[in-house]
């Protein structure tokens, strides 16, 4: 103001879902899964509460925000920036994603007590997250999404090809 800097307490940060890399990547994931599931001429396959779209979308958000040095046991919340939490907060899901069962204890058995689409999606995402880190553990991590051949690249390839192959 008048050529002077505002004190840090006065600076207001624009916290919004459109500024959250996880939220943006999650929404992108819906476009991918809707386009690929059921074939190119059927974008309405994922229309019931038991479909995997929310899980794939969370998984895309996790995948596109992995950095060298990360590990599967780290807590990774979904939508944390949008609600003002650190990246390892719970975010907008019941638990942060992690391969560490003391951080995220969900298993396939939790589907029996999960009726909301995001809750069901969490189970699918944590399953894919476990797969991803098992592949990274065996084949390593490569930040090159175009030419890479490491475990994260293999996981991405498997999920994308799986969506192309599955019927409605």
Q: Print the SS3 string covering 38-85.
A: CCCCCCCCCCCCCCCHHHHHHHHHHHCCCCCCCCCCCCECECCHHHCC
- 161 catalytic? Reply is no
Alpha helices (H) along the chain: 21-36, 53-63, 117-139, 151-165
- Active-site option among 27, 54, 67, 161: 27
How far apart CA 72 and CA 50 sit, in angstroms, is: 26
Nearest Cα to 77, choosing from 61, 96, 56, 94? Answer: 96
Tokens representing residue 122 in the block: 């969490």
CA gap 17, 134 in Å, rounded:
30
Task: List residues with catalytic annotation.
Answer: 27
């Amino acid at each position: 103001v008048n050529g002077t800097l505002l004190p840090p307490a006065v600076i207001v940060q624009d916290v919004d879902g459109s500024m959250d890399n996880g939220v943006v990547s999650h929404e992108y994931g819906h476009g991918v899964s809707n386009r690929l599931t059921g074939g190119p001429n059927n974008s309405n396959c994922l229309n019931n509460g038991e479909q995997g779209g929310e899980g794939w979308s969370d998984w895309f958000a996790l995948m596109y925000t992995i950095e060298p040095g990360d590990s599967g046991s780290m807590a990774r919340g979904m939508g944390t920036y949008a609600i003002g939490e650190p990246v390892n907060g719970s975010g907008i899901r019941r638990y942060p994603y992690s391969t560490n069962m003391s951080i995220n204890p969900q298993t396939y058995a939790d589907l029996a007590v999960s009726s909301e689409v995001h809750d069901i999606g969490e189970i699918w995402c944590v399953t894919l997250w476990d797969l991803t880190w098992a592949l990274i553990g065996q084949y390593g991590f490569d930040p090159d999404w175009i030419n890479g051949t490491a475990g994260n690249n293999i996981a991405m390839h498997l999920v994308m090809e799986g969506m192309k192959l599955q019927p409605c």
